[in-house]
Amino acid sequence: MDGLVDACKVPCVYKSFGCERYVDQHSLAKHSSRCVHAPCYCYECTPPFEGSPASLVHHLTTPSVTHYWPAAVNIKYETCYLFAVSESLEDHRRLLVTEEDSSIFPLAMGTSKAHAARHPVSVVCVRGNAADTDMRPVYRCVLTVTAPPRYEGALAASITLTETVPSCSVPGNVDMEDAWYDFHPKMVHEDSKEVDLVICITKSNVHH
């Protein structure tokens, strides 16, 4: 009987989200923990949203939801894009969607619970089974923050950081305490009250 059970193939638990694999019963748990079709979640709404990354973009950018993000911005890998992010945090989020494979990268600026004066900036990749990084593409982001012209010479004209992009299956749970960069107040443009961020995302081969 054990042999018959092991030989029995069952559909992936994420079949409704696009996985067409049938796997051995004894391998189902392992497959499910690494399946690229695992859904993403939004717990800010009632009932909680559960769906593919593509449907999550539609959910977050629908004006009727309370946590509405601005319309998604199409980008290409290895291409630099300038984003003017509001210091007031009223317009501080962008959903970046790559044209090559529709990967989703929320760009967010927030506040620190521990340090009220901090304005951390973070970029993450939205994908199901975010904790599983084996056999998955590795993304890196080059973030450049440019100072207003009046401060050139007084501090660095720009600051550039290159970081590996972490994964997240729940965009609302991004930990801003562990964000990449806290911008200097002098980086804010007086007239617009915005910070100029230049973002470039690259994609490399899988880990193994």
On whether both 138 and 199 belong to a single domain, the answer is: yes
Q: Assess if residue 59 is contained within a domain.
A: no
Residue 94 contacts residue 61 (beta carbons within 8 Å): no
Instruction: Determine, yes or no, domain membership for 122.
Output: yes
Q: Domain for residue 85, yes or no?
A: yes
CA distance 130 to 198: 25
Q: Which domain holds residue 8?
A: 1-35
Number of domains in the chain: 2
Could you tell me if 199 and 126 lie in one domain? yes
- Structure confidence at residue 208 (pLDDT): 45
User: Per the domain annotation, does 75 fall within a domain?
Assistant: yes
Contact 82, 74 (CB under 8 A): no
pLDDT value for 179: 59
Residue 46 lies in a domain: no
Q: Which residues of the chain have pLDDT under 50?
A: 154, 208
Look at residue 57 and tell me if it is in a domain: no
Residues 31 and 129 in one domain: no
Whether residues 9 and 105 share a domain: the answer is: no
On whether residue 31 sits in a domain, the answer given is yes
Query: How high is the pLDDT of residue 166?
Result: 84
pLDDT number for residue 110: 64
Tokens at 71, concatenated: 């319309």
pTM of the model: 0.77
User: What are the two backbone dihedrals, phi and then psi, of residue 24, each rounded to the nearest 5 degrees?
Assistant: -60, 145
What pLDDT does residue 96 have? 92
Q: Beta 73-75 vs 93-98: how paired, if at all?
A: parallel
